[in-house]
Structure 1
Amino acid sequence: MPMYFEDFEVGQRFVTAGRTVTEADVVNFAGVSGDYNPIHTDAEFAKSTPFGQRIAHGLLVLSMLTGLRQRTGATDGTLIAWLEIRNYRFLKPVLIGDTVHGETEIVEKRETSKPDRGIVVQRVRVLNQRGEVVQEGEFVTMIRRRPREEA
């Protein structure tokens, strides 16, 4: 069920479902983004890196996080705009075959000058199947306020 600005509370937490990063994900993201860096696309080259194998694009994993969050339905029809990504860090590599999920904590909410919307700041983290945080940062979003009932 979609959540309006009023429904979010500072300290509230949400966890997404998991998703396994596949070979197809990496290949398709390389094609869409044009990022054919051999660390992502060349298995022989990747063997010579500190990771020992190909890694997923950091922005692919960030994109997966946005999709996993959307699948919760929390902001279906209430998200107006994504305004900012703050202090986003790529902490650990994500390998093909890793399963990631997202965690969100509401850290701030504030009203705007317009009565139909508010700003929600969320601390987000992506974790792998071992519970390791692989990415983290903050998302700033504009969310609809609950419509006033007609008299």
Structure 2
Amino acid sequence: MSDTHDIYFDDVVVGAKFTTDSHAITAADIARFCDLTRDHHPLHTDADYAGSRGFGGVIAHGLYGLALMEGLKTELKLYQNSSIASLGWDRVRFLRPVIAGDVVRVGFEFTEKRTSSRPGRGIVIETLRLLNQRDECVIEAQHSALLACRSDATS
């Protein structure tokens, strides 16, 4: 595929940075996440209630923002054939609300890499930031991923 840019463990350069396309958050997106997760708290469903709590409209669930970070990153198609597993998220911080109408994007960089105890694979750490239209960081986190080694993929 010409639109795939696989990065294998061998290709990872600590300090390399990437930015995703933007995504506009809608109240309908938030409502679908409410339905999917069964979390219908009024902060996510009632603009008047959210306003009474100091927000400018319904706010997205923190976990919606975190999941969206992974989805936007996936659209870059960096790991189409090299990804083995997500090993987890660490140091997740919800710094500012994500409000319906915000336009967000992800900036991330590789901050660590190490070989795995199993041959043919390695672990990378990505530091990610979800940024709104004002370039404010609304969510920050670290993600650990298990990637195949390029040499293993060709054998």
Normalised by the length of structure 1, the TM-score is 0.95
How far, CA to CA, are the matches of 1:104 and 1:47 in structure 2?
A: 31
Please state how far the C-alpha of 1:53 moved relative to its aligned partner: 2.2
**Superposition pairs for residues 140-151 of structure 1, below 5 Å?**
140-148=144-152, 149=154
- Residue 71 of structure 1 is matched in structure 2 by 75
Asked whether the equivalents of residues 27 and 58 of structure 2 are also in contact (C-alpha less than 8 Å), the reply is no
Match of 1:114 in 2: 118
Which residue of structure 1 aligns with residue 25 of structure 2?
Answer: 21
Q: How far 1:56 sits from its partner (Å)?
A: 1.0
Report the count of equivalent residues.
150
Please give the secondary structure, in 2, of the residue aligned with 1:25.
helix
Q: Distance in 2 between matches of 1:112 and 1:47?
A: 48
Q: Deviations over 1:10-34 (max 9, x none)?
A: 1111110100001211110000001
Correspondence for 1:103 among 104, 107, 125: 107
C-alpha distance after superposition, 1:93-128 (max 9, x if no partner): 011010000011111000012221100001110000
C-alpha separation between the residues in 2 aligned to 1:64 and 1:147?
31
Shift of 1:147: 3.4
1:33-75: per-residue Cα shift (whole Å, max 9, x none)? 0110100101221121121421111111111111100000101
Q: CA RMSD in A?
A: 1.1
Q: Structure 1 residues 101, 52: CA separation in 2 closer, same or farther (over 3 Å shift)?
A: closer
Aligned to 1:59: 63
SS in 1 for 2:81: coil
Q: Secondary structure at the match of 1:47?
A: helix
- SS of residue in 2 equivalent to 1:75: coil
Percent same amino acid among aligned pairs?
39
Kindly provide the amino acid, as one letter, of the partner of residue 3 in structure 1. I
- Residue type of the partner of 2:91? N
Q: Secondary structure at the match of 1:74?
A: coil
* Runs of 4+ in structure 1 over 4 Å off: none
